[in-house]
C-alpha cells in the first residue's frame, strides 16, 4: 500500500517542532483521516480539534502545506506525495497544543456585536429573494480560516482594533436581515475597525463555504460606513439632528 | 464547603450545548435561574449543526390540511406505538410555536411564495411539514440559539467534559469534570442538572456521528441511579456515504428523497416498490434502511456495497439551491456531481431513540434533580424516529427541561457534596496515566465498534447478541487495564479512555435490551423473531443499576386516552 509522509507540528505555547509520521493511503482519504491514523498508531496524545468530518462544523482548520484548510475536506490525492505533507496549526492564533489553537478572541469579538433586534410590529413575512443574500452569510461555519489569513490579524496583529472578516459577515447578516432594525455602522467603524480592511480578498479565497466575503459583506458594509460618516450631505443631516447611534 | 478544585455554582447546570442544551438554557434563564452550560467542544460545534433536512412542525404553510393531530398520528405510527403518547402530543402541539420563536430570534428559513416559512416533504410525514434552510437547517437553528444565549449572558464552559455526577444522598448536587485544554479538574455545584448530551453513535464503526457522541449523558445518569429506557432502538439512517472509505458513514440528508430523489439497485430497479409501494422512498427510516441492507445482502448492491440515490432528474440549479451541502460534499469528497449522476448510499448509525427515562411534562428523570432532553432522553420517538422530529424535539423538550429545572432549583435548598466523591472521581479519571504498557484506548474503541457493527447492527439475533454481551465483558476488563501516554494537556488519548467507559455502559444496555425484545419493531429487527408481537407492543425495556450490576425490567407503555386513540386509528 502506498504511504505518505507527514510532518506535523508537535508542541505547545512555549516551544515545538515538526514530528514525522508515515501513514498508509486509502482511496478518497483526507488529511484528517491521516491525523486520526497517527493518533491511533503513533501518537495517541496528538491534539486535533474535529467534530463532524463533513465540512459542516468548522473545527478542524489547520495549515496544510502552508495553505489554511479544513483538514476534513483536504484530499490526499490532491497533494503531492513525493515530499512530506506539512500540517501546522493556524498561525494567527496562539498554540495551545499541536494543531489546537486558542480561538477565544473570536468569541470575545462576537460578544461586542449588537444582537438581532426585530422591527416593532413586523408581520414576519419576507420573500426568498430578500432572504437569499443573508442566507449566504449565515452559511458561515466559524472555521476562522478567514480570520487566520487576514493580514490585518495575521501580520499586523490588530486584534484590539479589528473584528476580522468573520464578524463583518456576521454584521452583514444582521444589517441586511429583513426583520432587523438596529444600526451597527458606528461600531463597525469604531470597534470592529472595518476601515483597516483593504480588500485583498484573502478571506474570500479561503472560505470553505464559498461565501463572497469581500464583495457581498465587506464592501457593502464599507459603503454604509462611508455614506453614514463621510458623505458631506449625511454629515450635515447628522449635525443638524444631533443624533448619535448606540454602538454597544 | 471548601475543596481543592476550581468550583462554579449555578442553579441550573446544563451539560451539552446543542439544540436541546441551549434551548434548555434559554428556558431556565427566562425563569431567572443562574445558568451554566458545559460542552465538550467549542460553542457552536455541537452535533445539531449536522442536522440537515429540517424541523418538523405542523405550521400548515404549504399543506393547509396539516395540524398537530396529523403530526401526532405520524409520530406515533412511525414509532410503532411504543412512544410516550403524552410526549408525542406535547411535541406536535408545541413545535410550531417553537419554530416561530426561532424566527423571532433571527433565524431565516426558506420562504413560500407568499412570504411564509417554507416546508418540505419527509419520510413518514403525511404533509409537507419540515421548515428548512436548504440542507443546513441545524446550523441555522444552533447559531440562532447560540446568539440568543450569548446576548442574554449565559455562562458557557467550553471544551470541558463531565466525568461524574455528584450527589447529596439521592439528590443530584453537581458535576465533576476536566478542562480539555489543561486537564485540570473542575467542580460545578448545581441544584438541577439538565442532560443534553446527545447520542451514542461512536460505538459503531459506520456512523454519521462525531467523536462527541459517546453516550456520556446516559452513562452518567445511569451511574447516578436514573433509569434508561428503549435502549434497543438505535436508528440506522438509510443513506450514508459508502465510498470512498474515508467518508463511509457521513450523512446524506433525507431531504434528497424529500426533494424527489429515487433509490435504485445495481439492476436499475426502483426497489422501494417491493418494500413500501405506497410511500416508496419516503417510507420511514427503519424500512428504507432495511430495504437497502437487504438489496446489498442479496447481491443487488452497487459496486461499493450500497444503493444508488439519484436526484439528477431535477434541474441542476434547483439541486444546487436546495441541497447545496450535498452537492459540495459529493463533489469534493467523492468526485460525484449529483446534478449529473447518482450517489452511492448505505445505512449508517445515526440516532438513539432510547435514553434517559423522563416525565413527559417536565423532562425530569427518575433521579431527583436530574432532567434530560433531546437525543439523550427517551420516549418521544418510540421504536423509530421520523426525520425532522429531532430538531423539534430539541426545542420543545429543551425548553420544558429548562423551565422545570429552574422551578426545581427554586424549591430545593443548597446541597452538600462530600469531597470523597470528587477525590474518588479524580483517582478513577487519572488511573490510565498510572498504568504502564497497557493497551491503547484507540485499539479497544476499534474493537468495540466492530462488535457493535457486526453483532448489534440493523439485523439482530439471539446468538449474535449473546456473543456481543460476552465480548463487551471482555472489553470492559481490557479497558480497566488500558494506559495512556503523554501529559494531561489536551490529550485525546486520555479523553477517549474516559469516553470509552460511557460507550461500554450504553453498548451493554443496547445489547441487553435488544436481546430481551423477542420481536421486530421499528428500528429493532430480530431475524429470529421477524414479526411484531402485540405483547411486546405494550412494554418498554427499562435499564437500571442495582449495586454494580446492570439490570433490565419491563414497564407498561402508558395507554392512550380514547380521543388520542381515535386520532391514531383514523386514516
Q: What is the pLDDT of residue A246?
A: 42
Q: Quickly name the fold that domain B236-349 has.
A: Flavocytochrome C3; Chain A, domain 1 (3.90.700)
Cα B394 from Cα B26, distance rounded (Å) = 12
> Which residue intervals of chain A bear CATH 3.10.20.30?
3-101
Cα B263 from Cα B296, distance rounded (Å) = 13
- Are the beta carbons of B143 and A97 separated by less than 8 Å? no
Q: What is the pLDDT of residue B440?
A: 97
First to last CA, chain B: 61
Mutate to test the interface with A, among B182, B489, B492 (most CBs of A within 10 A): B492
B517 is catalytic: no
Q: What is the pLDDT of residue A232?
A: 77
Domain ranges of chain B: 236-349, 434-533
First to last CA, chain A: 58
Determine which one of B180, B257, B400, B526 is catalytic: B257
Cβ neighbours of A45 in B, within 8 Å:
484-487, 491-494
Per-residue pLDDT of chain A (248 residues), as tens digits, is 799 999 999 999 999 999 999 999 999 999 999 999 999 999 999 999 999 999 999 999 999 999 999 999 999 999 999 999 999 999 999 999 999 999 999 999 999 999 999 999 999 999 999 999 999 999 999 999 999 999 999 999 999 999 999 999 999 999 999 999 999 999 999 999 999 999 999 999 999 999 999 999 999 999 999 998 887 777 777 667 655 444 43
Query: Which CATH entry fits the domain spanning A3-101: 3.40.50.1110, 3.40.50.300, 1.10.260.40, 3.10.20.30?
Result: 3.10.20.30
| ipTM of the predicted assembly exceeds 0.85 | yes
Q: Which of B104, B115, B147 has its CB closest to that of A125? A: B115
Could you give the angle at the alpha carbon of B391 between the alpha carbons of B328 and B140, nearest 5°? 50
Determine which one of B23, B34, B237, B285 is catalytic: B237
Q: What is the pLDDT of residue A132?
A: 95
Per-residue 3-state assignment (H helix, E strand, C coil) for B457-508: CCEECHHHHHHHHHHHHHHHHHHCCCCCCCCCCCCHHHHHHHHHHHHHHHHH
Q: Confirm if B30 and B210 have CB atoms less than 8 A apart.
A: no
> Which residue intervals of chain A bear CATH 1.10.1060.10?
104-241
Parts of chain B with a pLDDT under 50: none
Say which CATH class A104-241 falls into.
mainly alpha
Respond yes or no on whether the N-terminal peptide bond of residue B128 is cis (omega within 30° of 0). no
In 3-state terms, what secondary structure has residue A96?
Answer: strand
Q: What is the pLDDT of residue B571?
A: 77
Within 10 A of B533 (CB to CB), how many other CB atoms are there?
A: 15
In 3-state terms, what secondary structure has residue A178?
Answer: coil
**Please, which contacts does A153-160 make with residues 24 or more away whose CB atoms are closer than 8 Å?**
A153/A92, A154/A91, A154/A92, A158/A193, A158/A196, A159/A105
Within 10 A of A217 (CB to CB), how many other CB atoms are there?
A: 28
What are the residues facing B343 on neighbouring strands? Answer: B309
Give the total residue count for chain B: 571
Separation in Å, CA of B373 to nearest CA in chain A: 21
Cα B422 from Cα B223, distance rounded (Å) = 15
Q: Quickly name the fold that domain B434-533 has.
A: Methane Monooxygenase Hydroxylase; Chain G, domain 1 (1.20.58)
B136 is catalytic: no
- Are the beta carbons of A44 and B325 separated by less than 8 Å? no
- Are the beta carbons of B181 and A96 separated by less than 8 Å? yes
Amino acid at each position: 500500500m502506498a504511504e505518505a509522509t507527514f510532518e506535523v507540528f508537535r508542541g505547545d505555547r512555549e516551544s515545538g517542532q515538526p514530528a514525522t509520521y508515515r501513514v498508509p493511503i486509502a482511496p478518497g482519504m483526507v488529511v484528517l483521516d491521516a491525523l486520526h491514523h497517527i493518533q491511533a498508531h503513533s501518537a495517541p496524545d496528538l491534539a486535533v480539534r474535529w467534530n463532524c468530518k463533513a465540512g459542516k462544523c468548522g473545527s478542524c482548520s489547520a495549515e496544510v502545506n502552508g495553505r489554511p484548510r479544513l483538514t476534513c475536506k483536504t484530499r490526499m490525492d490532491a497533494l503531492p506525495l513525493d515530499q512530506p505533507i506539512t500540517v501546522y496549526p493556524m498561525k494567527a492564533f496562539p498554540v495551545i497544543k499541536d494543531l489546537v489553537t486558542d480561538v477565544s478572541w473570536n468569541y470575545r469579538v462576537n460578544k461586542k456585536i449588537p444582537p438581532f433586534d426585530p422591527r416593532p410590529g413586523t408581520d414576519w413575512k419576507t420573500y426568498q429573494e430578500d432572504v437569499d443574500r443573508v442566507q449566504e452569510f449565515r452559511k458561515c461555519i466559524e472555521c476562522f480560516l478567514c480570520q487566520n489569513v487576514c493580514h490585518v490579524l495575521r501580520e499586523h496583529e490588530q486584534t484590539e482594533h479589528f473584528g476580522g472578516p468573520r464578524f463583518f459577515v456576521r454584521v452583514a447578516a444582521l444589517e441586511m436581515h429583513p426583520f432587523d432594525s438596529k444600526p451597527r455602522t458606528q461600531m463597525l467603524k469604531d470597534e470592529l475597525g472595518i476601515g483597516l480592511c483593504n480588500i485583498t480578498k484573502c478571506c474570500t479565497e479561503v472560505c470553505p463555504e464559498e461565501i463572497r466575503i469581500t464583495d457581498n459583506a465587506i464592501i457593502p458594509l464599507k459603503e454604509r460606513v462611508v455614506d453614514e460618516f463621510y458623505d458631506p450631505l449625511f454629515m450635515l443631516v447628522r449635525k443638524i439632528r444631533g443624533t448619535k447611534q448606540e454602538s454597544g | 464547603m471548601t475543596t481543592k478544585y476550581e468550583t462554579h455554582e449555578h442553579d441550573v447546570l446544563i451539560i451539552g450545548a446543542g439544540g436541546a442544551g441551549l434551548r434548555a438554557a434559554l428556558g431556565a434563564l427566562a425563569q431567572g435561574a443562574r445558568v451554566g452550560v458545559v460542552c465538550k467542544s467549542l460553542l457552536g460545534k455541537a452535533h445539531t449543526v449536522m442536522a440537515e433536512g429540517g424541523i418538523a412542525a405542523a405550521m400548515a404553510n404549504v399543506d393547509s390540511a396539516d395540524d398537530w393531530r396529523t403530526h401526532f398520528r405520524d409520530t406515533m405510527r412511525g414509532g410503532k406505538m411504543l412512544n410516550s403518547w403524552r410526549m408525542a402530543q406535547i411535541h406536535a402541539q408545541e413545535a410550531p410555536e417553537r419554530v416561530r420563536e426561532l424566527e423571532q430570534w433571527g433565524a431565516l428559513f426558506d420562504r413560500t411564495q407568499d412570504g411564509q416559512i417554507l416546508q418540505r416533504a419527509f419520510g413518514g410525514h403525511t404533509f409537507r411539514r419540515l421548515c428548512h434552510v436548504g440542507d443546513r437547517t441545524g446550523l441555522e437553528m444552533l447559531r440562532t440559539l447560540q446568539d440568543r444565549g450569548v446576548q442574554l449572558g449565559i455562562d458557557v464552559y467550553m471544551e470541558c467534559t463531565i466525568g461524574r455526577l455528584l450527589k447529596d444522598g439521592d439528590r443530584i448536587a453537581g458535576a465533576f469534570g476536566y478542562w480539555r485544554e489543561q486537564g485540570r479538574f473542575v467542580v460545578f455545584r448545581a441544584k438541577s442538572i439538565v442532560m443534553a448530551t446527545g447520542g451514542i453513535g461512536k460505538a459503531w464503526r459506520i456512523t454519521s456521528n462525531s467523536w462527541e457522541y459517546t453516550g456520556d449523558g446516559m452513562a452518567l445518569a445511569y451511574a447516578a441511579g436514573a433509569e434508561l429506557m428503549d435502549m434497543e432502538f438505535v436508528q440506522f439512517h438509510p443513506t450514508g456515504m459508502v465510498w470512498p472509505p474515508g467518508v463511509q458513514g457521513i450523512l446524506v440528508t433525507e431531504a434528497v428523497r424529500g426533494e424527489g430523489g429515487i433509490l435504485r439497485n445495481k439492476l436499475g430497479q426502483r426497489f422501494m416498490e417491493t418494500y413500501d409501494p405506497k410511500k416508496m422512498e419516503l417510507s420511514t427510516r427503519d424500512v428504507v434502511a432495511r430495504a437497502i441492507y437487504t438489496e446489498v445482502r442479496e447481491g443487488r448492491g452497487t459496486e461499493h456495497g450500497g444503493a444508488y440515490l439519484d436526484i439528477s432528474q431535477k434541474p441542476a440549479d434547483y439541486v444546487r439551491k436546495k441541497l447545496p451541502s450535498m452537492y459540495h460534499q459529493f463533489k469534493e469528497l467523492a468526485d460525484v456531481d449529483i446534478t449529473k449522476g447518482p450517489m452511492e448510499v448505505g445505512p449508517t448509525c445515526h440516532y438513539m431513540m432510547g435514553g434517559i427515562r423522563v416525565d413527559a411534562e417536565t423532562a425530569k428523570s427518575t433521579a431527583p434533580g436530574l432532567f434530560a432532553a433531546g437525543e439523550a432522553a427517551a420516549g418521544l420517538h418510540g421504536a423509530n424516529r421520523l426525520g425532522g422530529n429531532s430538531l423539534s424535539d430539541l426545542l420543545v423538550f429543551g425548553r420544558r427541561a429548562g423551565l422545570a429545572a429552574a422551578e426545581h432549583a427554586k424549591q430545593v435548598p443548597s446541597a452538600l457534596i462530600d469531597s470523597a466523591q470528587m477525590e474518588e472521581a479524580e483517582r478513577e479519571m487519572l488511573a490510565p496515566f498510572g498504568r504502564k504498557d497497557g493497551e491503547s484506548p484507540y485499539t479497544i474503541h476499534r474493537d468495540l465498534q466492530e462488535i457493535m457493527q457486526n453483532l448489534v447492527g440493523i439485523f439482530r439475533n439471539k446468538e449474535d447478541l449473546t456473543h456481543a454481551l460476552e465480548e463487551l465483558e471482555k472489553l470492559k476488563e481490557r479497558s480497566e487495564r488500558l494506559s495512556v501516554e503523554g501529559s494531561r494537556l489536551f490529550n485525546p488519548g486520555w479523553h477517549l479512555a474516559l469516553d470509552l467507559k460511557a460507550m461500554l455502559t450504553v453498548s451493554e444496555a443496547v445489547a441487553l435490551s435488544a436481546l430481551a425484545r423477542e420481536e421486530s419493531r421499528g428500528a429493532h429487527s430480530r431475524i429470529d423473531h421477524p414479526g411484531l408481537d402485540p405483547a411486546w407492543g405494550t412494554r418498554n425495556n427499562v435499564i437500571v443499576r442495582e449495586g454494580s450490576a446492570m439490570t433490565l425490567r419491563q414497564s407498561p407503555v402508558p395507554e392512550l386516552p380514547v380521543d388520542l386513540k381515535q386520532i391514531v386509528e383514523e386514516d
